[in-house]
Chains A and B, each alone.
Chain A
Amino acid sequence: MSLGISIVRDDARAKVTGAARYPGDRVGPDLLHAVVVFSGRPHARMVSMDVRPAFAVPGVVEVVTAGDIPVNEYGLTMFDQPVLVGVDGTGRARVASDVSRWEADQIAVVVAETPEAAAAGAVALDVDWEDLPVVADLEAALTDEVLVHPEAGTNRYVHHRIRKGSPEAGWAAADVVVEGTYRLPHQEHAYLQPEAAVAYLDDDDRITVEIAGQWTHEDREQIAHALDLPPERIRVRYPAIGGAFGGREDMSLQIVMAAAVRKLAARGIRRPVRCVWSREESIVGHHKRHRGIVHARWGATREGVVVVAEVDAYLDAGAYNYTTNKVLGNLHLTVAGPYEIPNLRVDSWGVYTNAVPGGAFRGFGAPQGAFVAENQMNRLAEALGIDPVELRRRNVIQEGSVGPTQVPFPAGVSMPAVIDACAEAAERPVAVPPPAIPFASLPADESRLRRGRGFACAFKNVGFSFGFPERCEATIELHGDDEVERVVLHHAGADVGQGAHTAFRQMAAEAVGVPLERVEAVWSDTAVTGDSGSASASRLTFMAGNAILGAAEEAEKRWRDGDRPAIGEFRYVPPPTEPFDPDTGRGDVNFAYGYVAEAVEVTVDVGTGHVHVDRVVCAVDVGRAINPRLVEGQVHGAIVQAHGYALTERLVVEGATIRNPRLSQYLIPGIGDVPAHVEAVIVEHPDPVGPWGARGMAEMPFIPYAPAVVAAIHDATGVWFDEIPLTPDRVLAGLRRAGVAQ
């Protein structure tokens, strides 16, 4: 009744009228303004910091430093980062707090009456540094000559293995071998709303932080840990969130803004504090999609059966782990593709450098994995003279297939059907409009244009993996007398723009069996909602849907018992997972997957190196589309973001320093750059444990895009590329090397 229909998003009206409030939108004379000071040094030891010159700036009210953070450590999965770098650390932390390991390590928060005074105070701080040798990139890090975290003993601080079958036997059986070294770039999230927060004491004197994040309760946990306060004394609320894509999973302003409020309160100052980052602060100050280097060697029989793969992968973790160990796990799992390969060796490492940390970003390691796997597969298809789609059909995982982790995939494997759906749709001719905007400022010379088609597919887990205690809570209240007149859903899940709240309300209406109009909701506030887990890993629809189903059942039971209102609380716990075995990689690492395939058509100008994507067909198994238009919105958005990854977005990181932290220099796709024609093919093959069969999907369409584009460029020009983004200069250089262009 309420599922499978495309109601307009609940927040649409507020967003088209300007009424929606984002975290930086609180204004007024009662505000204090904060500036977070970055070290500006990729690797240096702080010798001293004198805050007195900052206090001498008129309007400066307070300066927060390391000494104000009782437990000066932060990390979502490992406490390896000081919240504030400084010489006045309390000593209660597992990481040395006097060393800056990244140019955006935070060293102080200056609070003042105006933003200008705060900025002047930040400049006035008198800091002495002793520079240390900088570990600029993977190559430098792998020598271990300089250690970023000496306590770890090596820069290669995390290592995963897969040992399946016998690679020797595989090589003996292989007739054809393809080998490649792939270089994956950083990617910046570039959510349009830069980081911002307002922090204050609420009516119950809780330290309250209003911010755009992805997991209210984890933010609260991290603040409570660092400030050594019980979590109940902290409150985290999310107003409207201006995009996230994984980039708001780690802390930016959460802990330091809470620390500022606490320090002010100790002086009797109870005013709210606001901090809004500039775009430059945002790009320098938060993590990126990991850059990395992957070497892969695959072998197949003449008949097109892949019999062996060996892979060595390195991800640049940057200065701190963030979620590198998990992202690496996902790359590790996906780097041999959705294929049943009997003999497999994979070694992957996360490596510390002094560059910007790598972390969560839509796809979470799977885009890097798929780039390698799908390029290898497409090159094999060429070497074997077999159609790329056909080659996939001969190797693809099926229901019951044993994966790289040597246990069967969870039930509900739909990769073959998704490949077929994509290939079929791509064969149907459509009238693709000519590129709306010419390649460059001049119209292209027709004789230089080459056209080609490419294909790729991918899979990725839904929900957290590797033994994480995955869970999601929901509360449902049923109000009324004889019949349910009003339903109130309490849920913390973050609507980062994907429309989660709208889908949740639809699921609540369906679960209770009332019309949508009767469902209200309370969202994303640790004071009034239970722990939802993160808006990441394509998990929210899946996890929240199951939690809503459980809460509705519970509430209905109480309703039958006569409770008015009847309140059902439920904590959904999915099937358990386990980590990789450290020696073999064996393990039941995930409970559900999403599957996707893409076909693209491109035009390449061999005179200029410009690549235009004319058509994209994306088939994605969503299990059950709760709101089909929102699902399609995720397809369109993910493809354009992947388009940037594949073709336009080049973050320049030299000497561990970001050189182009501006949207005028780091080019995300504009409306004139995007594929001319995108078709979303929604496959609904139910997941056996998904709510109403739904799977997660928001990451999937991103994942196979870059390798599909590479294959299409090869089809057009005969040249393989093993590095992205394929900016015109890089394409032209490659074409020239191959003698295709002059």
Chain B
Amino acid sequence: MKISVTVNGTRYERDVEPRTLLVHFLREDLGLTGTHVGCDTSYCGACTVLVDGRSVKSCTFLAVAADGAEITTVEGLAADGELHPVQEGFWERHGLQCGFCTPGMIMSSVALLEENPSPSEAEIRHALEGNLCRCTGYHNIVLAVQYAAAKLRGEQPPPADWEEVGA
């Protein structure tokens, strides 16, 4: 089937099989391998992307269903080499180790902050319940999102807990 999608601002016309999953389309057809696959059961969130601004697990979304949509993947967040505030937060607050969950975490966080610019810690945790991380213990991921939220609101990001104790 012919589909036409805009991914990270570029329009693509492609022929895909109806059963092609969006994640495979992004990775194999467009070479956007920043979107990862961590499970077979729509559980881990490593494949999260934005479809028309909403966060979607691209392993359970058919490429044909994205026909006409605007898609943003992790590769599309930085503008002119400048990191998106959420990317900066994960960088600045050590919100990653192996990094395999990171693109999905970042995309879910971007979607959260677009909807709710001032989330509480509980709201951040709730929004990221569909994203698993095996390495970080999540603590620094929460700090990363808080950092990004402040940045996006034009405020000074809160000090990390280690900065508070003066380390």
Chain A residues proximal to chain B, CB less than 8 Å: 6, 8-9, 11-22, 24-25, 27-28, 189-194, 240-243, 245, 276, 278-280, 433, 436-437, 496-499, 628-630, 632-633, 635-641, 662-664, 668, 670-672, 674, 678
Contacts and interface: CB of A to CB of B under 8 A. Distances in A.
A16 B102 contact: yes
23 contacts: A8-B92, A12-B90, A16-B87, A16-B90, A17-B34, A17-B87, A18-B32, A18-B35, A18-B75, A19-B75, A20-B99, A24-B37, A27-B28, A27-B31, A27-B33, A190-B134, A241-B98, A280-B40, A433-B121, A436-B126, A497-B135, A637-B137, A678-B139
A228 to B, nearest CB: 34
A192 B34 contact: no
Interface of B: 27-28, 31-44, 46, 73-75, 77-78, 83, 87-88, 90-92, 94, 96-103, 106, 121-122, 125-126, 128-129, 131-142, 162, 167
Contacts of A21: 33
Contacts of A629: 94, 162
Contacts, number: 183
A678 B101 CA distance: 21
Nearest to B122: A436
B132 A497 contact: no
A671 B99 contact: no
B44 A663 contact: yes
Scoring A11, A632, A663, A671 by chain B CB atoms within 10 A of each residue's CB, the highest score goes to A671
A18 B30 CA distance: 14
B43 to A, nearest CB: 4
Contacts of B43: 662-664
B134 A636 contact: no
A20 B74 CA distance: 11
Nearest to A16: B87
B121 A18 contact: no
B39 A193 contact: no
Q: Secondary structure of the A side of the interface?
A: loop
A631 B78 CA distance: 29
A44 to B, nearest CB: 26
Contacts of A674: 137-138
B94 A497 contact: no
Contacts of B28: 27
B132 A192 contact: yes
Contacts of B44: 192, 279, 663
A28 B34 CA distance: 15
Contacts of A663: 38-39, 41, 43-44, 132
B100 A25 contact: no
A14 B138 CA distance: 20
B40 A22 contact: no
A16 B86 CA distance: 9
Nearest to B138: A671
Contact of A16 (B32, B83, B122, B135): B83
Contacts of B99: 11, 14-16, 20, 240, 242, 497
Given A16-B83, A192-B132, A243-B134, A630 B36 contact: no
B139 to A, nearest CB: 5
Nearest to B121: A436
Contacts of B77: 17
A671 B92 contact: no
Nearest to B133: A192
A633 B136 contact: yes
Nearest to B128: A671
